[in-house]
Structure 1
Amino acid sequence: MRKLLVIAVPLVMLLAGCTTPLPQPTPSATASPSASVSASAQPSQPPSEVSSPPTVSTSEPAETPELGGDDEPGRYAYRCGSLDASPEVQLSSLAEVWAATNYTRMASCDVSYEGGQPFEPTSAEEQAISTVTPGARPEEGLAVMLEVLRLCTRVSDETGPGGFKEAGHEALVAAAAFCPDAPQAKIIKGWADGTRTGAPQQ
């Protein structure tokens, strides 16, 4: 009987151990795997759709083109007198003449050629010269160009000596085409197309 008790006690304990409920995992332990799965299950954004910061241009802003005829600075010299007691000024381009602070007080300008010899007209100058004198010789072409440039500078007295009224029609047409940005461009065009005749002095 004692032997049976010795054997029975361990068996009872063994059976009791088998029926003991195992500990349940805590909620935090189960939440972690599911959270990691859901995070890894989200598709990553394709490279083409990834928003990138706006690029800042490091290039210089485009320069605003200056108004001017097709005369390159230094190719001609412009000696301009004034209607008042101001001294004459010498400038190196039409753009400088037009930008002069005393432009509206200028009487007129004399133009001389300062470029290389012999005189070789640019394409724009050739067009102006051919408008006035088709097939002109180089020396004739230079004289024509100087007159066209003079008309493009400043003419204070439209009908007076050296004014637009005295200028040839072809020279006015050439000047209107050569310097459309001149302060007096509309006046030159008016004389060229005949809509401005006998205008009063400015």
Structure 2
Amino acid sequence: MSRHARLGRHGVLALLMLSLMGCAGSVGPVETPPPPPTTTTTSPPTASPTSSPGDDEPRVLIECFYPDGSEVATFTRLEEAWASTNYVRIDHCEARAAEPDEFELSDEEAEVASVAEADLPGEDATELFLLTLAACVRLTPEGDRGMASRPTSILEAALVLCPEAPHAGLIETELGTRG
């Protein structure tokens, strides 16, 4: 059999296959299923620890620093710090009340402070909350201000306050090594 005859036979087979596939796909009109109904669920708004309800002024300021001590930036919200282009270069942070005389802990913040107090009895609840808030931004694994040097209760409180922190998994691992 010549080469052209073989190609012709294969070509006919290919055409037959394509036409059968085309026929199988066009059995009837194609209907697209309607989109699933949309449901809107409303959940109660959760206040960020760094925001005041109905107020544009920040409640806290979170100053973050490079390893050499120079300032990276001052943030007013955790999400803002986590989204920073310099996030991975942050060595440590310090949180303070924007208006110290007017700063009062919410019930949720007081709960976070009570978790943090386990290893630091007698410390001021506001200071414990602010230490925890600073730990929520970023903790390096090593170093003088790193995760390994933090009290267990601060790490536990950080998981309560900010379980969605980028380094939450590292905190969990650190806590797991402590027993």
> Shorter-chain TM-score: what band?
0.5 to 0.7
Letter in 1 for 2:49: D
Distance 1:171 1:147, change over 3 A: same
In structure 2, C-alpha distance between the alignment counterparts of 1:93 and 1:126, rounded to whole Å:
18
- Unpaired runs of 5+ in structure 1? 1-56, 198-202
Q: Report how far residue 79 of structure 1 moved.
A: 1.4
In structure 2, C-alpha distance between the alignment counterparts of 1:119 and 1:99, rounded to whole Å:
26
TM-score (norm 2): 0.61
Q: 1:132 aligns with which of 99, 112, 116?
A: 116
In structure 1, C-alpha distance between the alignment counterparts of 2:89 and 2:116, rounded to whole Å:
29
Contact 1:69 1:181 in 2 (8 A): no
Letter in 1 for 2:137: T
108-117 or 147-156: bigger deviation: 108-117
Count of residue pairs the alignment pairs up: 134
SS in 2 for 1:195: helix
Letter in 2 for 1:178: L
SS in 1 for 2:174: helix
- Unpaired runs of 5+ in structure 2? 1-37, 53-57
Q: What is residue 11 of structure 1 aligned with on the other side?
A: none
In structure 2, C-alpha distance between the alignment counterparts of 1:62 and 1:83, rounded to whole Å:
44
Contact 1:187 1:196 in 2 (8 A): no
Q: What is residue 191 of structure 1 aligned with on the other side?
A: 174
Q: Report how far residue 177 of structure 1 moved.
A: 1.1
Distance 1:170 1:131, change over 3 A: same
Q: 1:177 aligns with which of 144, 154, 160?
A: 160
Q: Which one has a bigger Cα radius of gyration?
A: 1
Q: Report how far residue 83 of structure 1 moved.
A: 5.0
Matches within 5 A, 1:53-132: 70-72=49-51, 74-82=58-66, 88-115=72-99, 117-132=101-116
Letter in 2 for 1:166: S
Q: 1:154 aligns with which of 133, 138, 158?
A: 138
Contact 1:70 1:179 in 2 (8 A): no
What CA deviation, in whole Å up to 9, does each residue of 1:82-114 have, x standing for no partner?
358985311111111011112112222121111
In structure 2, C-alpha distance between the alignment counterparts of 1:176 and 1:62, rounded to whole Å:
26
In structure 2, C-alpha distance between the alignment counterparts of 1:177 and 1:87, rounded to whole Å:
27
Letter in 1 for 2:166: P
Contact 1:151 1:175 in 2 (8 A): yes
Letter in 1 for 2:50: D
Q: Report how far residue 147 of structure 1 moved.
A: 1.1
SS in 1 for 2:134: helix
Q: Report how far residue 196 of structure 1 moved.
A: 7.2
159-168 or 112-121: bigger deviation: 112-121
Contact 2:116 2:132 in 1 (8 A): no
TM-score (norm 1): 0.55
Contact 2:147 2:174 in 1 (8 A): yes
